[in-house]
Amino acid sequence: MIGAIASRLSSALIVALGVCTLVFLLLHLVPGDPVDAMLGETAQAADREQMRIRLGLDQPLTVQYGRYLSGLLRLDLGRSFLDDRAVTAILVERLPATVELTVAALVLAILIALPLGMLAARQHGRWLDSTAMSFSLLGVSIPNFWLGPMLILVFSLWLGWTPVSGRSGMVSLILPALTLGTALAAILARMVRASLLEVLHEDYVRTARAKGLSEWSVLWHHALRNAWLPILTLIGLQLGALLGGAVITETVFSWPGLGRLLIDSIKSRDYPVVQGCVLLISLTYVTINTITDLVYVWVDPRIRYD
């Protein structure tokens, strides 16, 4: 087990290094100059050169990359070009909003997907199954950048039940969480249904039914318990994807999290902040998947890591 954990941590570090290198190169090779974004294109040449020297952008790309890796080894992500604050402090400030939105979307998705998938499996081949899967397909097909504005239009502008944007209490969390969690709920419901259908004809399920247990008790305590592995895999993968999907949702709802910070930093060519955001998101994604692998052992004791 210890060897498996060490192997996964090593893989995570390699992935994180690859992501950091790729993002660093892309940011510095795409058109656009941070100095132009900060001073404007009408700034004097002397002012532009002085700003470039102060930011270290006058040095060769290899030197900048080496300085960036050196900072990572010291757990120093650098300072923002725009407001000269430590990138770590900015990420710590924005992270709680993204975690709050991600957890709310995940909880909402599970609360919708589990009953919907169990109902579809129990009514397999009937109209309830078709209806549930049709709703699931609809949820997968609707993109966040369309669903978010539609929810704002209906619930904020027409009905006035929720704020249009911003983070101002639990009410303002409803629409972003619904927007972000809908696609996950749809995918998860289909996985719950498929996993349950694979185990509903097993001997232990027939034995539970023969004992006189209710159908829902059989589904919840016997069938679902043995169908958790693919569901957990999907939850682990999608939880990491939620952090990436939050970029669109946070932008639509002006949610002050990592996603909006990433978009704003890309627009202003704030290299250190962009690199810090991508590094944090990638590390979180890899960490969640590593934890998911370890949870397998707890869910199914037959699994062992050599």
pTM: 0.81
pLDDT at residue 301, rounded to an integer: 59
List the pLDDT tens digit at each of the 306 positions of the chain. 566 667 777 777 787 788 888 888 887 777 777 777 677 667 777 777 787 788 787 788 888 888 888 888 888 888 888 888 889 999 999 989 988 998 899 899 889 888 888 888 877 878 887 888 888 888 878 888 888 899 999 998 898 888 888 888 789 899 999 998 888 888 888 888 888 888 777 777 777 777 777 777 777 777 777 777 778 778 877 777 676 657 888 888 988 888 888 888 888 888 889 888 888 888 887 778 777 777 766 666 555 555
Which residue ranges form the domains of the chain, and what is each CATH number?
31-76 (no CATH), 94-299 (1.10.3720.10)
List the one residue out of 183, 113, 97, 103 whose CA is nearest residue 148.
183
